[in-house]
Every structure is written in C-alpha cells, then in structure tokens.
A = this chain, B = another copy of it.
Amino acid sequence: MATKQVKNVVKVGIIGLGNMGTGHAGQILNGMIPRMELTAVCDINPDRLKPYPKLKHFESSEKMIRSGVCDAVIIATPHYSHTTIGIDALQNNLHTIVEKPISVTKYDAQKLIDAYKKAKKANPDLQFCAMFNQRTDPYYIKMHDMIRDGVLGRIQRSNWIITNWFRPEAYYRSGGWRATWAGEGGAVLVNQCPHNIDLYQWLCGMPSAVYALGGLGKYHDIETEDECCALFEYADGATGSFITTTGEAPGTNRLEIVGDKGTLIFDCSHGRNNLEFWQNTTPTSEYTKTATSSFGAPETWDDKIPTPGSRGEQHIGIKKNFVAAILDGAPLIAPAEEGIKAVELANAMQLSLMTKQRVELPMKAAEYDKFLKKLIKNSKFVKKTDENAGPTDLAGSWK
C-alpha cells in the first residue's frame, strides 16, 4: 500500500487533544498552516472531541489511522504511545509528526525509526518529523550556522543553564500520566528539555559520556526527576554542562559555546534576549603558544551580529515545513530519525542521576529499558491528579 497521492492539501488528523494537540488543532483551524487541512481528531476522552463538531471523531488511534480520512497524523499523546502509535501510523503509510520526545527510551526510539525505515523503503516519499519547534528559532539557527561555518573554531566548552521551565504542582496534577515512571518515563528531561537537549546536540554534537546530579520529586510531589545538573564529555576533549529544573523561578536560559576563535552566548532570560559573539582575533590556541607576556590574552572583539527580529515560527514553522516536505519535497527541519539523540542523552542523564555513576555513550539501549521497567514495576507512588484541569493556555510554555 502506497501513501495516498497528496496533491494540493495535506489532510491531517490529530491524535491526543491535551495541551499540545489542542494547540496544533487551533493553529490549523485558524488557517495558520496553508495547505494543511484538519479532517479528524482522536482522543480516548470523548469530551475532548466535542469542541470540534465539524471534524471526524475517533476514540481509537487505530481506527483513525485506518479510516482513510487522513494523509498524515500529528501524535500528541502521552510519551510512551508515541512509539506504538507512531509505528502504527508509519506502517499504514501516513506521513507523521510525532511530539517530543519521539519515544521515552532509546530502545523504543530505535523500534520507531526501524519501522519508519522499513515503510520508507516501500514509499520513499513518506515523511516522518519530530516536533522540535525550537529548530525554527532564528537565534539557534544563527548559532548553528556560525558553528557549521567554523566561525567559532573548534568547540572547547559549552554550557546551558536552562532552568526557566518552572512548573507548579497544578501542572503535574493536570494529567495522571505526568511525571510518573509508568505514564511519562521521567519529568523535566523527557517533557520540557527534549527541545534543549535536541538543540544542544544539534549545535555541539553528542557527548561520549555523561555524569548527572539530580533530584526525583525534589520540588514537587512526583516520583520522577525535576532537576538535573549534568556534565558532558566529548570524544575530542570538549566539555559541556547542562543544568535544568522545573522547580526554580524565575529561572535562567543561558547557552554559552566557547570555541578556539571566540565565544557565543545566548541569554534569553532575566529581561534579556541577547545573542553575543566575542571574537578572538588570534585563536586562543595560537596565542597561548606564541605570547611572550605571562599575563596577556588574545585581543577580543565584541562583534555585533545581526539580531533576529523574532523567535521564529515555532510549531507553525514545523507544520509548514512538514507540508512542504510532503507536497514540494522540501527537506525536513527536524527529521524524527534525529530525535533518538535527545532521547538517548536524556536516558543517560536519568540513569546517571539515579545511579550516581558516569554513563558512557552510546548507551546500551536494552539496559536502560530494563532499568526503567524495573522502576515502573517497583513504583509505589500514588499520584494526585486533577484531570478536570484540562488543556491550559500554552502561551509561554516553550523557552
């Protein structure tokens, strides 16, 4: 069975009408994604379908996937089912956007990607995209381009303090699956930070080892991690650090990438929205060797680089790009196959912070899967929920 011939409009169904699914539906119904038409919505809770009287309703993703009313699906369900529903959609040749994280574990992510690769063999045009909306942010694109073009020289150190993901208890109570091992498989590292972890590896590459400190339910009545302070080792000797929590306010979002030829700093917290580049007119490594003064330092220029006017199209941009990939053959901004990296890095940090051990990458996927299954099996945590809270305004929910 081949993908349907999609000509001028991509007919899409949304699976999962929680915070994110509701947001996607609103954007499509408001005509913000040209050539994308919302034809169907799916949720196990029929009450959540009611606001969409003109669309096809499904309470089962299997039925929607096989209904013939969609060329594509957006999967915005609790995390574990990203894998199972994703595989089902891809096996049925539907173009697919999966919310982040693409899966909870590296093991699951591999299964999902394998299913895509297999389906793609029969249907080379099949598109599979991850909702890494922050890859559309002109600030990160600028940083990415500068690194790619060698402007920074060899990266020697980086660090990201991304602690402005504050969430109150009300957030965790709004979904029974949230911040449980069985329902979500983690908290800040699998829910908020996939964006930042994806961007970090997109900019600086994958580390070769990780050590993390953290807390399980440190600031909230949850059983999973709401804080993580990690150190990264890279194969070429570079170092990194990644610090996050949902328990801090107002929180910081400051990414610093130090290269031999200069330092790039993006701080979009505490009233700032600054991208700075400090250029060393002589590379540090060269100056180190040739300087004759004991206390000198390379001359540094405060290069004022063009500042993007906005934070980009975000979720709208990813959906537009998905449409362009399907209808025009445009390359995807966030191919879901790359999403396994953020999953693996999150898994490595989770494992390290729970075992207090340094974890080498690539991880053995089956081992972490087993570790997590044990956590689920042994969990005695009773989650307090307030399911009536329902979807909430997401303005400002991404950083």
Interface residue ranges, A against B (CB under 8 Å)? 19, 156-157, 159, 161, 163, 166-171, 174, 211, 213, 215, 218-220, 227, 229, 231, 233, 237, 239, 241, 243, 245, 247-250, 252, 256, 258, 263, 265, 270-271, 276, 278, 280, 284-285, 287-298, 300, 302, 356, 358, 389, 392-397
Contacts and interface: CB of A to CB of B under 8 A. Distances in A.
Nearest to A175: B294
A249 B394 contact: no
A232 B163 CA distance: 17
11 contacts: A159-B161, A166-B298, A169-B291, A170-B294, A220-B288, A229-B231, A250-B263, A250-B278, A252-B256, A270-B302, A293-B392
Given A166-B284, A249-B287, A270-B278, 17 more contacts: A156-B219, A157-B229, A159-B243, A168-B289, A168-B294, A168-B297, A169-B289, A170-B292, A171-B294, A171-B295, A213-B239, A219-B284, A220-B288, A241-B241, A247-B284, A249-B280, A249-B298
A243 B241 contact: yes
A296 B394 CA distance: 10
A302 B157 contact: no
A258 B291 CA distance: 39
A295 B245 contact: no
Interface centre among A218, A219, A288, A394, by most B CB within 10 Å? A288
A258 B250 CA distance: 9
Tell which of A213, A287, A292 has the most Cβ of chain B within 10 Å: A213
A292 B390 CA distance: 12
Nearest to A221: B289
A154 to B, nearest CB: 12
Contacts of A167: 294-295
A255 to B, nearest CB: 12
A156 B247 contact: yes
A397 B296 CA distance: 9
A239 B237 CA distance: 25
B249 A219 contact: no
A243 B292 CA distance: 27
A290 B157 CA distance: 40
B248 A231 contact: no
A292 B388 CA distance: 12
Contacts of A392: 293-295
A282 to B, nearest CB: 9
